[in-house]
């Protein structure tokens, strides 16, 4: 089974710093990592390869530095990586990104399966995976929490999607595209041998010049959406904090909490969840 | 012709609450644009009374496409159908819920009709003068709020975070048209087959649609202690959430996980117990209406983003809160 895993390089979220003046992220000196949610996709692909043979190729679109993310994927066990990078791709929204990546996947050649993370932790849209499926007209299963059956001969998968009502069980033919959630598998750590291989690996570079692309679909110019404003929301709510050191203080604190909830119409209504009729009459929040 | 559309969602013939939240959003936009609001229902077995309820909650028109082949969501057929409807009726705005369905279907459709899509919006407005849709969403783990426009492509598409707004009150005097649209065979793509649903009764939770979420972190110390949180959640008819730490320790299953690698939620009330408030967890709860933090550590980050915090022994506070809520219940409605 030949598998493609699109990954993204993202800033490490634990130390994201915002410029208070411009409201934009300070990228200088910020550590980058493979999008943590993509690690579940890489792990899923590696396990399928181990069970059924084939190859796993990571693919990333981004600045030249995104090569580091691809080498990390190779260190985990991917057979190779492809970097899609060009100034012409800068400013791509999820529409243009999914177009460019789908053209790269076409160029990479035959594959059986694409496994992607559910979303990236920076852009947080979750739109590129389904977008690639649309471009390539591939059967799609998102939020996959388990692959319960693989029939490589017939080219069929049975998967379970984590949805609001439980797990939706789907059967789909290959080639297909899956986006996976954390529950599917715990990612492995890179091994020394993998790290050595990653160092030596050749990572092919795809650019606008080497790809078959519609110029009007690329980068900021090819993106239907525009960011018109960025604001930093206030982090603290300036809430009340009360101390509850002993039994008496606990009772007092809970008193105040109940009064606070009551003032916001958040106490349980008899037999009905909060936000029932009373909340609706209030006409919603500003 | 209706210019603002919302996509209603159903499961097993029952409309989901988020369908009505979207209508509240759509109504405000349609009024600002002085145009009509339509709700699109794709599914099977949604009865006339429920379709009429969409009118009562703000729709001028309801397009209902119902067929046994649409009973369960599969992206391919739903996408074919929605693309077909968009091309036929050319709405200017299309809103769907940021649910597992909306977040799958909308990007697929946006690619095919060549338009922009903004994920997970918490605010929507019409820009005075241009009449364009201003779509505001949290990004980078909730560290920024970005406002996004789709200037030159139509429809302007957005998914909207469930529970980020309230439905309009039902107005039974509202009149609207319910239009049944047949499903053309050529739109059916049967490559993906839904064979059923599995639901782990003991450990499944619909966090995104809960009005109240009571969540626990490492401070809960062991799995059994989550019973306390369950009792509290039950008092509100709410759901129990957990931090990554608590899930990784096996105290609760992954469907309960809130945060960067779990669910992002916007309940009316979020109560965090024994949660330090790692940035990854905060990213998942920042848009909650009201945040309450209970933690013995006065320096817990969650206290800083909370509307109300209690510093004290977690279990003492939780038990006292449970006792008081039980008392209230026995006393009857106030």
B245 interface with A at CB cutoff 8 Å: no
Give the domains, in start order, of chain A with CATH numbers: 2-217 (3.40.50.620), 236-286 (no CATH)
Alpha helices in chain A (DSSP H): 36-52, 67-76, 94-108, 128-136, 192-200, 247-263, 277-281
The DSSP result for A130-141, as a single string, is: HHHHHHHT--EE
For residues B242 and B251, the answer to whether their CB atoms sit within 8 Å is: yes
**What does each C-alpha distance from A203 to A10, A31, A85, A108 come to in angstroms?**
19, 21, 12, 13
Alpha-carbon distance B110 to B154, whole Å?
A: 9
- Counted domains in chain B: 2
Q: What is the pLDDT of residues A137-189, one digit of tens each?
A: 999 999 999 999 999 889 999 999 999 988 999 999 999 999 999 999 999 99
Strand-strand pairing, B308-312 and A176-180? unpaired
Report helix, strand or coil for B294: strand
* Residues of the domain holding B226: 212-331
Q: Which residue has the tokens 């609760």?
A: B252
Nearest Cβ partner for A243 among B235, B305, B312: B312
- Domain for residue B195, yes or no? no
- Domain for residue B170, yes or no? yes
Q: Is it the case that residue A16 has pLDDT exceeding 70?
A: no
Report the alpha-carbon angle B133-B127-B83, nearest 5. 15
Q: Residue B101's closest CA among A65, A251, A164, A271?
A: A164
pLDDT of residue A275: 43
Q: What is the pLDDT of residues A44-81, one digit of tens each?
A: 999 999 999 999 999 999 999 999 999 999 999 999 99
Q: pLDDT under 70 in chain B at which residues?
A: 1-2, 200-203, 333-334
- Domain for residue B203, yes or no? no
Q: What is the pLDDT of residues A178-234, one digit of tens each?
A: 999 999 999 999 989 999 999 999 999 999 999 999 999 999 999 999 999 988 776
Least confidently predicted of A19-33, A268-282, B207-221: A268-282
A253 and B310 in contact by Cβ < 8 A? yes
Q: The tokens of B154 are what?
A: 């139509």
pLDDT of residue B219: 96
pLDDT of residue B164: 86
Do B255 and B327 lie in one domain? The reply is yes
pLDDT of residue A273: 46
Residues contacting residue B262 through CB under 8 Å, at least 6 positions apart: A182, B244, B247, B254, B256, B284
Q: Which residue has the tokens 């904090």?
A: A241
Q: Which residue has the tokens 């009373």?
A: A278
Alpha helices in chain B (DSSP H): 18-33, 48-56, 75-89, 102-113, 226-236, 244-248, 279-285, 301-305, 314-331
pLDDT of residue B302: 94
The CATH code of the domain that includes B269 is 3.40.50.1220
Report helix, strand or coil for A277: helix
Do B39 and B78 lie in one domain? The reply is yes
- Domain for residue B197, yes or no? no
Q: The tokens of A99 are what?
A: 């177009």
Do B145 and B283 lie in one domain? The reply is no
pLDDT of residue B2: 53
**What does each C-alpha distance from A233 to A125, A165, B97, B141 come to in angstroms?**
19, 32, 23, 12
Nearest CA distance, A263 vs chain B (angstrom) = 12
**Contacts with A, B 34-63, CB within 8 Å:** none
For residues A240 and B308, the answer to whether their CB atoms sit within 8 Å is: yes
- A 10 A CB-CB count for B193 gives 15
Helices A94-108 + B102-113 axis angle, to 10: 80
pLDDT of residue B200: 66
Q: The tokens of B40 are what?
A: 């699109």
Long-range CB contacts for residues B202-205, cutoff 8 Å, separation at least 24: B203/B252, B203/B253, B203/B255, B203/B256, B204/A166, B204/B253, B204/B255, B205/B239, B205/B240, B205/B241, B205/B255, B205/B256
Q: Which residue has the tokens 């990333």?
A: A60
Nearest Cβ partner for B104 among A140, A236, A240: A140
Q: Closest residue of B to A133, CA-based?
A: B108
- Beta bridge mates, B146: A230, B137
When scoring B25, B74, B78, B108 by the number of chain A Cβ atoms within 10 A, the one with the most, hence best to mutate, is B108
For residues B4 and B33, the answer to whether their CB atoms sit within 8 Å is: yes
Report the alpha-carbon angle B144-B147-B152, nearest 5. 150
Do B170 and B37 lie in one domain? The reply is yes
ipTM for the assembly? 0.90
A241 and B303 in contact by Cβ < 8 A? yes
A165 and B145 in contact by Cβ < 8 A? no
Do B126 and B47 lie in one domain? The reply is yes
Query: Which run of H or of E encompasses A58?
Result: strand A55-61
Alpha-carbon distance A41 to A28, whole Å?
A: 28
Q: The tokens of B152 are what?
A: 């030159």
Dihedral (C-alpha) B238, B160, B71, A137: value to the nearest 10 degrees?
-140
- Could you say which of B128, B153, B187 is where a domain stops? B187
Do B170 and B221 lie in one domain? The reply is no
Do B14 and B153 lie in one domain? The reply is yes
Confidence of residue A12 (pLDDT cuts 50, 70, 90): confident
Do B147 and B218 lie in one domain? The reply is no
For residues A199 and B243, the answer to whether their CB atoms sit within 8 Å is: no
- Could you say which of B150, B171, B187 is where a domain stops? B187
- Domain for residue B267, yes or no? yes
> What strand order describes the sheet that includes B123-126?
A226-231, B144-149, B133-139, B123-126
pLDDT of residue A281: 34
Backbone angles phi, psi at B267, to 5 degrees: -70, 165
Alpha-carbon distance B108 to B315, whole Å?
A: 47
- Could you say which of B138, B154, B187 is where a domain stops? B187
- Domain for residue B142, yes or no? yes
pLDDT of residue A272: 47
Do B228 and B137 lie in one domain? The reply is no
Q: Which residue has the tokens 């605010």?
A: B123
Q: What is the pLDDT of residues A101-131, one digit of tens each?
A: 999 999 999 999 999 999 998 888 999 999 9
Residues contacting residue A107 through CB under 8 Å, at least 6 positions apart: A206, A211, A212
Confidence of residue A285 (pLDDT cuts 50, 70, 90): very low
When scoring B22, B194, B293, B310 by the number of chain A Cβ atoms within 10 A, the one with the most, hence best to mutate, is B310
**Contacts with B, A 138-197, CB within 8 Å:** 139-143, 145, 158, 160-173, 181-183
- Domain for residue B194, yes or no? no
A166 and B194 in contact by Cβ < 8 A? no
For residues A115 and A153, the answer to whether their CB atoms sit within 8 Å is: no
For residues B318 and B228, the answer to whether their CB atoms sit within 8 Å is: yes
- Beta bridge mates, A226: B149
**What does each C-alpha distance from A235 to A96, B285, B289 come to in angstroms?**
32, 12, 14
pLDDT of residue A286: 32
- Domain for residue B299, yes or no? yes
Report helix, strand or coil for A71: helix
Task: Indicate the burial class of A234 (C-beta count within 10 angstroms; 0-12, 13-18, 19 or more).
Answer: exposed
Please give the residue that has the higher pLDDT: either B146 or A238. Answer: B146
Q: Residue A71's closest CA among A84, A62, A61, A58?
A: A58
Please give the residue that has the higher pLDDT: either A282 or B93. Answer: B93
The CATH code of the domain that includes B156 is 3.40.50.620
Residues contacting residue B288 through CB under 8 Å, at least 6 positions apart: B213, B265, B266, B267, B268, B269, B270
Do B156 and B87 lie in one domain? The reply is yes
Q: The tokens of B183 are what?
A: 């499903």
Do B33 and B176 lie in one domain? The reply is yes
Confidence of residue A253 (pLDDT cuts 50, 70, 90): very high
B320 and A95 in contact by Cβ < 8 A? no
Q: What is the pLDDT of residues B129-139, one digit of tens each?
A: 999 999 999 88
Do B38 and B183 lie in one domain? The reply is yes
């Amino acid at each position: 089974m030949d598998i493609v895993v699109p990954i993204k390089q993202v800033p490490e979220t634990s130390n994201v710093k915002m410029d208070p003046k411009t409201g934009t992220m300070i990228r200088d000196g910020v550590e980058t990592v493979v999008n943590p949610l993509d690690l579940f996709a890489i792990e899923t692909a590696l396990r399928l390869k181990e069970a059924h043979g084939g190859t796993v190729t990571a693919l990333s679109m981004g600045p030249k530095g995104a090569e580091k993310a691809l080498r990390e994927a190779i260190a985990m066990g991917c057979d190779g990586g492809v970097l899609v990078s060009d100034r012409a791709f800068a400013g791509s929204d999820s529409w243009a990104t999914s177009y460019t990546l789908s053209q790269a996947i076409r160029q990479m050649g035959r594959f059986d399966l694409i496994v992607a993370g559910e979303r990236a932790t920076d852009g947080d849209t979750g739109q590129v995976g389904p977008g690639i499926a649309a471009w390539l007209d591939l059967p799609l299963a998102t939020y996959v929490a388990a692959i319960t059956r693989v029939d490589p001969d017939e080219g069929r998968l049975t998967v379970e999607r984590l949805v609001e009502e439980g797990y939706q069980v789907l059967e789909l033919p290959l080639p297909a595209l899956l986006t996976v959630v954390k529950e599917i598998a715990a990612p492995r750590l890179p091994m020394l041998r993998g790290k050595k291989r990653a160092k030596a690996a050749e990572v092919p570079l795809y650019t606008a010049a080497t790809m078959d692309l519609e110029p009007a679909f690329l980068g900021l110019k090819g993106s239907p959406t525009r960011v018109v404003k960025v604001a930093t929301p206030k982090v603290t709510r300036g809430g009340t904090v009360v101390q509850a050191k002993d039994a008496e203080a606990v009772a007092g604190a809970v008193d105040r909490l109940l009064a606070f909830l009551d003032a916001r119409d958040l106490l349980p209504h008899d037999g009905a969840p909060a936000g029932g009729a009373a909340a609706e009459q209030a006409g919603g929040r500003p | 012709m209706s210019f603002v559309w919302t996509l209603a969602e159903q499961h097993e013939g029952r409309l989901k609450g988020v369908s009505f939240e979207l209508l509240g959003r759509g109504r405000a936009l349609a009024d600002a644009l002085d145009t009509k609001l339509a709700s699109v229902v794709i599914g099977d077995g949604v009865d006339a009374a429920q379709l009429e309820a969409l009118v009562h909650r703000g729709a001028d028109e309801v397009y209902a496409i119902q067929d046994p082949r649409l009973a369960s969501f599969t992206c391919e057929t739903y996408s074919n159908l929605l693309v077909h409807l968009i091309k036929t009726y050319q709405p200017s705005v299309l809103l769907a819920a940021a649910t597992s369905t909306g977040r799958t279907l909308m990007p697929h459709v946006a690619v095919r009709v060549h338009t922009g899509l903004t994920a997970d919006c918490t605010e929507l407005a019409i820009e005075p003068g241009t009449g364009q849709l201003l779509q505001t969403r949290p990004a980078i783990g909730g560290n920024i709020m970005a406002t996004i426009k789709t200037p030159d492509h139509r429809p302007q598409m957005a998914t909207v975070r469930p529970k980020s707004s309230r439905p309009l009150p039902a107005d039974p005097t509202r009149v609207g048209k319910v239009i049944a649209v047949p499903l053309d065979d050529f739109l059916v793509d049967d490559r993906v087959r839904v064979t059923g649903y599995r639901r782990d009764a003991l450990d499944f939770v619909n966090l995104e649609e809960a009005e109240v979420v009571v969540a626990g972190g490492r401070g809960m110390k062991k799995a059994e202690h989550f019973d306390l949180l369950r009792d509290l959640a039950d008092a509100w008819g709410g759901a129990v959430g957990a931090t990554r730490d608590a899930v990784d320790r096996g105290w609760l299953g992954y469907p309960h996980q809130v945060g960067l690698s779990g669910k992002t939620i916007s309940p009316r009330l979020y109560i965090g117990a024994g949660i330090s408030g790692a940035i990854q967890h905060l990213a998942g709860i920042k848009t909650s209406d009201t945040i309450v933090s209970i933690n013995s550590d006065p320096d817990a980050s969650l206290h800083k983003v909370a509307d109300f915090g209690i510093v004290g022994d977690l279990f003492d506070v939780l038990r006292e809160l449970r006792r008081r809520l039980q008392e209230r219940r026995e006393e009857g409605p106030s």
